[in-house]
Amino acid sequence: MRADKENNYNFNSTAVLPDGQGGFTPCPALLTEDELIRLLRIPEISKARNYHNVIAHLKRYHGLPCIHICRQPLYPLEVVVQWVRERMQ
């Protein structure tokens, strides 16, 4: 069985994000950096004080996919999901 099924990871285009209050909100096709931080659950697993530095590290050293629109980094959900799956294998 694949790792994403064993661990109940359900990365797909209908993903949801934790809302910080115990609930979830629908996940857009293009994620902002804050949404990506919540999706990857960085506050739960990182001891970093600045979670944006964690994202910068992932982009620089691990090839986290990103596009820029109006100078703002956006992360296509489907491409990020594929990036995560590649690292799980």
- Domain chopping of the chain, boundaries: 3-88
In which region does residue 20 sit, left (phi positive, over 0), alpha (psi from -120 to 50) or beta (all else)? left
Per-residue pLDDT at 28? 83
- Cβ neighbourhood burial of 47 (10 Å; 0-12, 13-18, 19+): exposed
Kindly give the confidence (pLDDT) of every residue in the chain, 89 residues in length, as a single tens digit, with 9 standing for 90 and above: 344 444 444 555 456 666 666 666 667 899 999 999 999 999 999 999 999 999 999 999 999 999 999 999 999 999 999 999 999 98
d(CA 65, CA 22): 28
